[in-house]
Amino acid sequence: MEKNLVMIMDINFYNTTRQSLLEKDLYPRLEHGEKSFLVTANPEFVMKSREDAEFKAILQSADYVIPDGIGIVKASNWINDPLKERIPGFELMFDLLEYADKEKLSCYFLGAKEAVNEKAVKEVEKKYPDINIVGRHHGFFDIADKSIAEKIRKANPDLIFVALGMPRQEKWIARHMPEFDKGLFMGVGGSFDTLTGEVKRAPQFWIKLNLEWFYRFLKQPTVRFKRLLKVLEFAVRMRFKRE
């Protein structure tokens, strides 16, 4: 079946809904043990792909690039090729965990600091007491290290959640996925930190005013300022230059 795609700065986004992606694509592929590479991308990913050719080629070779970030959906509207909806990676991860729990599929958790990784696994086990977690590993290692990939391959997981941050997580997946026989590989960014409460969401007051981004900016001004500029550049390019 031809995929309905929307191209944003040379990256093809899959134009689908969260429900359809799960039911028509991901669940059947998991059922058949088909290997899959899923990227949930926001404007920062697209901007990064402009300066990092390896990362761009990886995004172009992934099985699915999904719009995670309202900026991508807005940009699709500006170019008159609207994406159906934003599909948040954090929520998609829970959809997949729920499915894994129900269908007795095995999961692996790779990434974040050791204590966060351990706590994230405990939180998932608390939420899904019967879930089959076949292993976990923190995210501070050299992505060229083959021994970690080999250890994961031997654990034979159906789902591999990779929380190394962008673009490390996508580079790790692209490099090591060929050695695997099966598995749905998904980069999940800072999800383990959010899952464990390591990174706190803004208080409701800020969220209600749509100022969560500003709250985060105040908490980490140096890191966030650079990111904010990239997102602004993305918006200006997409709105006015169309490239």
Binding site for ligand UDP (CB under 6 A): 111-113, 139-140, 163-166, 168, 189-190, 192-193
Nearer to ligand UDP, 29 or 48 (CB): 48
Cα(192)–Cα(118) distance, rounded to whole angstroms? 9
Copy the structure tokens of residue 124. 């998932």
Cα(173)–Cα(101) distance, rounded to whole angstroms? 23
Tell which residue, 213, 181, 216, has the closest CA to residue 200.
216
What type of residue is 27?
Y
Nearer to ligand UDP, 64 or 172 (CB): 172
Nearer to ligand UDP, 50 or 168 (CB): 168
For the bound state, the minimum distance from the C-beta of residue 175 to ligand UDP, rounded and expressed in Å, comes to 14
What type of residue is 216?
R
Copy the structure tokens of residue 134. 């076949």
Nearer to ligand UDP, 105 or 121 (CB): 121
Copy the structure tokens of residue 95. 């959809």
**Closest residue by beta carbon to ligand UDP:** 139
Nearer to ligand UDP, 30 or 69 (CB): 69
For the bound state, the minimum distance from the C-beta of residue 89 to ligand UDP, rounded and expressed in Å, comes to 8
Nearer to ligand UDP, 43 or 157 (CB): 43
Cα(110)–Cα(161) distance, rounded to whole angstroms? 6
Cα(68)–Cα(6) distance, rounded to whole angstroms? 14
For the bound state, the minimum distance from the C-beta of residue 138 to ligand UDP, rounded and expressed in Å, comes to 7
For the bound state, the minimum distance from the C-beta of residue 204 to ligand UDP, rounded and expressed in Å, comes to 22
For the bound state, the minimum distance from the C-beta of residue 200 to ligand UDP, rounded and expressed in Å, comes to 13
For the bound state, the minimum distance from the C-beta of residue 192 to ligand UDP, rounded and expressed in Å, comes to 5
Q: How many CA atoms lie within 13 A of 152 on its CB side?
A: 31
> For the chain, how many helices (H) and strands (E)?
13, 8
